[in-house]
Amino acid sequence: MRITTLPVNGPCRGKSDTTVSDARRIILASTSPYRQILLERLHIPFQVCKPDFKEAEPGDMPPDELVRYNTLGKAASVVDKFPDATVIASDQIAVCSDTILGKPGGHDAACLQLQRLSGKPVDFLTGIALVGDAEEHYETVPFRVHFRQLNVDDIEAYLRTEQPYDCAGSFKSEGLGICLFERMEGDDPTALIGLPLITLSGWLQPLNAGH
């Protein structure tokens, strides 16, 4: 499946460069490659569009309100540009000891973040929204990760291998990051990666798409 990235003020084109049917035009309000890969698993055609939305920052509101605000804000910004579309949006925050974790952005910050998470539980809150002309669904999907006791050598070896500097919590659970965990708790492991497919597939019903 070839995915088209849409400019926010441009035409909406499908994977074969013909206009997608307005009846079920699906746009993912994210340019995250991780979310695109997850959504491809549902075998539905979609395009991607970067949301034109300024996210609220940690500390502006409680974690559950923050993830809801950012998720629905992303969705609304794309619906405004493509009002005939069904828009999927998602946002995720990680919380450890009542502190919201951000994306490290570089090696040193990631090293410090993993040192802090060593031996502790981390709660991930992933917001998922499906918004269209006649529908609006939203849910926050929680997932908890318990980190192993990590020493400096473990952390350095992991970071050199995977460089997860654009990921909250400084790891990729779909990759080598799984080795950092002692155990996981949650109903949907795809929520941890950033797009809760169990919830989303319940709304989209991809198995009935051709019926």
**91 is an active site residue:** yes
Integer Cα distance of 105 and 60 in angstroms: 21
Which pair of structure tokens corresponds to residue 208?
A: 């009935």
Kindly tell me the sign of the dihedral angle through the C-alpha atoms of 142, 146, 151, 155. negative
Q: What is the DSSP string of 153-209?
A: HHHHHHHHHH--TTSTTS--TTTGGGGGEEEEE-S-HHHHHT--HHHHHHHH-GGGT
Please tell me the number of Cα atoms within 13 Å of 53 on its side-chain side. Answer: 24
SS3 120: coil
Q: Which of 52, 91, 153, 166 is catalytic?
A: 91
Q: What angle do CA 96, 102, 105 make, to 5 degrees?
A: 135
The torsion of the CA quartet 103, 28, 129, 185, rounded to 10 degrees, works out to -50
Which pair of structure tokens corresponds to residue 77?
A: 């910004």
Residues annotated catalytic, as ranges: 91
